[in-house]
Each structure stands twice: as structure tokens, then as C-alpha cells.
Amino acid sequence: MRPLNRRQFLALGVSSASAVFLASRVTGQSLPPAPNQYVSKDGLLDIALDARYEAVNLAGEQAYLYSYNGQIPAPQLEAKPGDSVRIRFTNNLPQPTNIHYHGLHVPPTGNADNIFLNIPSGETFTYEFTIPDNHPGGTFYYHPHLHGWVAEQVFAGLGGAFIIRGELDAIPEIQAAQEVFLFLKDFDLDANGRVPQPWHMAQMMGREGSLVTANGQVNPTLSIPKGGLLRLRLVNASTSRFYRLALEDHPLYLIATDGIPLSEPVELRELLLTPGERAEILVRGEREPNQYRLLALPYNRGGMGMMGGGMMGRGMMGRGMGSGMMVQSDWESTRNLATLTYAGQVETLPLPQKLIPVETLPEPQRVRRFILNHGMSPGMGMVFLINGRAFDHQRVDTQVSLNTIEDWEITNTGVMDHPFHLHTNPFQVISRNGQPESFRAWKDTVLVRAGETVRFRVRFTDFPGKTVYHCHILDHEDLGMMGTIEMQKSS
């Protein structure tokens, strides 16, 4: 199982083409540099984070971005079930902000995952919460969440991965795999390296940028030994961009969705990751040494009927044009997100047969319906609505009782796709347009395509208080497609 060194590998008699490729590997980099990692010690993750606006290096160029601690992506946080988390946060941005811990099952109130907090410019706030003892191990995501500012702040660079080390990590086949994090994020920079203000149309579409990065790099190289296993932990940290992922000549073995393990690996040809979604996949080093591209395949997430050539053509909207908007010509193209190479050889590692059981939830006590759509509002232009209403933090839209199970049926009657996200409690998708889902999985964000109805089941147990559900195209959230939920102890 010991990896071969380079001489032993060459002694295997690789073809000259592979030898050339190997030489380039030795001089090149192997893994994309992981962001700085902060791991809990003695049951406590205690770190100082600040949000700031300054010049950073992004994919080899100077860019003026918003960042946590000057890093793109932000420091990677890691804790275990049962750990306490203390984040001493300072807002050095010229505008208010806050932090949301996307997907974590922690209280949505007080100084925990409270997205109603407003931390003004120049102020400090300490977040404190405990990761429950029974919290699943997986890939989570922290990012700003102050309504009205979210898309701007995420698009300018804010966001990082939050890892919980748990049961999945203890499975021997998973432990044997090489772990690589890919934090996917797109940027739009003008000629001076600044993020331009988006056009109104770009906000309505959901702003996208043409600089597509993985861990702040363009097309980084990852390597796998022949026979080895790679565990890719993916976060879609983009404001609006969808990634329809495929790895040339390699099936993807999905092992976790939105931070929660599946019961067993699911083999896929491709995987669509919408904003806010995370996925963990295993890749087997089962091909001949060569270069294989991790691709983002074309995906059209729907428009206003004004896109494409003509007035919104790509010529007007290219990089540096201050648009923040990619058009359908971009959605029709294929992008190379990263490149997988082979280096060395190990005895063939098996895939795990079983992961962590995903329970079947009992029948719901109640069914609720939500309609996603958009409309025109005088003076505001397009607004994005849930059940005909735009977000109002003072209104409670949905009241649920703890210790109940509900089905939520989300119907998208609009013309654009909307990834629907619920805070605090994960759910299981039951059906799409009446068709049962092919495997059981926990999710916190689910794509509801234009014209589609998705039904999911959610259990409310602990954590009373108010939080939100919304479209994770963050411009749509800022433009109103968000509702409040209040979870109450049953009387």
C-alpha cells in the first residue's frame, strides 16, 4: 500500500507519453493548496475572524475583494461533534454584515447561527455555539447572510468551508482515501481588479463572473495514485453559478450530500451542484495515467427571455465590462475546473460498501405548499416571491411545532430555476413532479427547476426560534425570495 517513489514508478516501464507527463508533474504542483485550516483543540474551536476589503492575490492577479482574514477562500474551520465553537468576529467592511453557518444543526438564535443579527461596520461580535454530540460529520459552509447585502458580499469573495469530522471519517476505506477540498467560486473583475457593480438585469438573473476558480485558482491540478482513492469535498460557494460536474472517463461515487453521508455510495456520471450545495465524491484511480479534466458541463438555468445574442450578447458582457452577468452563451460552454493527473501507484483500494444509514422518516403530520415566482413591483423592478410575498423580517410566514414531521411541497411557477434552502434542519427529498427520488439522502438545499414541484420531508426536533428558507441564488434572496419560519415548542 506504500506509494512508490518516482524512481520505482519509472521502473514500472511507463510509456514515453506518461513519462513526459510525469516529468511535468514533478516540476508542477500536485494538489491545490488548501486554505489555512483551523482545527478544534480539546473540545474548542476558538478563532478570530475579520471581514475586510483589501487587495489579495486571486489566481495570480491582484484583486480587491472582501475576505475573511485576507484569504480567498476563507480559513477552513474544523470541529467535531460535541465541540464548542467560538468565533470572535470583527466587521472591517464598509457596510454591515453577519455570518451564517450553512447546514449546521445548531441554534438559529442568540449568538449562534442567527441571521437576523446586524453587525455594523467597525463592530465586533462573538459567535458561540456547541456542535451537538450526534451531529453528522461532513462538509458545511459559512458565509454572510444580512438580507440585502448577501449577494454583493459573497460575490466579492466572502465564504469558507466548515468541516465536521464525524462517523464517515472513521470508515477505513474513507480514511485510506486522499482528501481534497474544492471550493468553487466565480468572480467578476474589471481591468483594475475591482468587482464592478452588477447591472440590474444581472441581479435579476443572479450575478455570475467569468473567472471561475477552485480554491481561488484557475484549473488547479490534483493527483491520484493508480489504484488509489480520492475523496473530493465540493462546495458551490458561488452566488448564482451552477456546476454540472463530470470527470472525464471516471465515474463519481457520491458518498455525502449537503454534509450528511449516504447509506452507500451512489455511482454517477455527472453531478449538478447548485449554489449552497455540497457533495462528497470518491474517485477511483482506475484509468491509465493521463490528464483528465474535471468539467463544468453546459447548464441553462433559465432566463427572462431577453438573454442570448442581441442586446445582452457576450460581446457586451465579457470580463471587464462591469456586468457581473454571464449570458446563455456561457451557459452553453464547457469549463475546465481542475485537472486530475496520476502519480505513483498503490495496491488497489476498495470502495466502501456501506456508509452511514439514512433513516426513513415517518409519515408527516402536515403538508405545506410554497410557490416560487417573481413579479414586478413599482419602482423596484423585478421582485422574487414565495407564496406571492417578498421577504419581511418582521413577519412570520411559517409556524411549526417542534417534535413534528412535515412535508413541504415547493412549486416553481417561474421561468428560472431556484435552489431552495432551509436553515437549521435538513430534509429528505421524497419526490419530483410526483416521481419518487431514486435514493434516500439528507439535503439542506434542493433545486426546484422551472415548472417543477419538489416534495421533501423534514423533522423539527430541537432548537426553537426564528430562521429562514430562501432561494440560494443569493440575488434572488436579496430581491425577496425568502421567508421566515418560527419553530415553537408544542404546547
- Name the residue number minimizing CB distance to ligand C2O: 102
CB 259 within 8 A of CB 169: no
Residue 22 touches which member of Cu ion, ligand C2O, none, C-beta under 5-8 Å by kind: none
Closer to ligand C2O by Cβ: residue 143 or 374: 143
Those residues whose C-beta lies under 8 Å from the C-beta of residue 269, and which sit 6 or more positions away, are 246, 251, 252
- Length of the chain (residues): 491
Closer to ligand C2O by Cβ: residue 198 or 275: 275
Tell me how far apart the terminal alpha carbons of the chain are, to the nearest angstrom.
58
Tell me if 245 contacts Cu ion by CB under 5 A.
Answer: no
Q: How far is the CB of 419 from ligand C2O (least distance, A)?
A: 10
Q: How far is the CB of 161 from ligand C2O (least distance, A)?
A: 12
Closer to ligand C2O by Cβ: residue 25 or 421: 421
Q: How far is the CB of 141 from ligand C2O (least distance, A)?
A: 6
Nearest Cα to Cα of residue 53 among 40, 38, 63: 63
Q: How far is the CB of 373 from ligand C2O (least distance, A)?
A: 19
Task: Residue 330: count other Cβ atoms within 10 Å of its Cβ.
Answer: 19
Residue 473 touches which member of ligand C2O, Cu ion, none, C-beta under 5-8 Å by kind: Cu ion
**Placement of cell 477540498 in the chain:** 181
Give the interface with ligand C2O as residue ranges (CB under 6 A): 100, 102, 143, 145, 276, 421, 423, 468, 470, 472
Residue 185 touches which member of Cu ion, ligand C2O, none, C-beta under 5-8 Å by kind: none
Tell me if 458 contacts Cu ion by CB under 5 A.
Answer: no
Phi, psi of 77 (to 5 degrees): -100, 145
CA distance 340 to 182: 12
Q: How far is the CB of 213 from Cu ion (least distance, A)?
A: 22
Binding test (CB under 5 A) with Cu ion, winner from 25, 80, 102, 250: 102
H or E element, residue 25? helix 16-27
Closer to Cu ion by Cβ: residue 400 or 471: 471
Q: How far is the CB of 278 from ligand C2O (least distance, A)?
A: 10
Q: How far is the CB of 350 from Cu ion (least distance, A)?
A: 35
Residue 145 touches which member of Cu ion, ligand C2O, none, C-beta under 5-8 Å by kind: ligand C2O
**Kind of pairing between the strands at 418-422 and 465-471:** antiparallel
Residue 419 DSSP SS3: strand
Tell me if 476 contacts Cu ion by CB under 5 A.
Answer: yes
CB 248 within 8 A of CB 273: no
Closer to ligand C2O by Cβ: residue 80 or 102: 102
Q: How far is the CB of 214 from Cu ion (least distance, A)?
A: 22
Closer to ligand C2O by Cβ: residue 80 or 143: 143
CA distance 63 to 58: 6
**Kind of pairing between the strands at 435-436 and 465-471:** unpaired
Closer to Cu ion by Cβ: residue 9 or 384: 384
Q: How far is the CB of 442 from ligand C2O (least distance, A)?
A: 16
Tell me if 471 contacts Cu ion by CB under 5 A.
Answer: yes
Site for Cu ion in 398-437 (CB under 5 A): 418, 423
* Strand segments (E) across 312-417: 335-345, 366-377, 381-386, 398-401, 404-412
Q: How many CA atoms lie within 13 A of 161 on its CB side?
A: 32
Cell numbers standing for residue 64: 480587491
Residue 470 touches which member of Cu ion, ligand C2O, none, C-beta under 5-8 Å by kind: ligand C2O
CB 182 within 8 A of CB 219: no
CA distance 231 to 215: 16
C-alpha distances in angstroms, 55 versus 192, 207, 386? 11, 22, 38
**Cα–Cα–Cα angle for 273, 127, 131, rounded to 5 degrees:** 65
H or E element, residue 202? helix 200-205
Residue 295 touches which member of ligand C2O, Cu ion, none, C-beta under 5-8 Å by kind: none
Binding test (CB under 5 A) with Cu ion, winner from 131, 386, 473, 482: 473
Residue 471 touches which member of Cu ion, ligand C2O, none, C-beta under 5-8 Å by kind: Cu ion
Closer to ligand C2O by Cβ: residue 212 or 485: 485
Residue 476 touches which member of Cu ion, ligand C2O, none, C-beta under 5-8 Å by kind: Cu ion
Residue 105 touches which member of ligand C2O, Cu ion, none, C-beta under 5-8 Å by kind: none
Residues that bind Cu ion (CB under 5 A): 102, 418, 423, 471, 473, 476
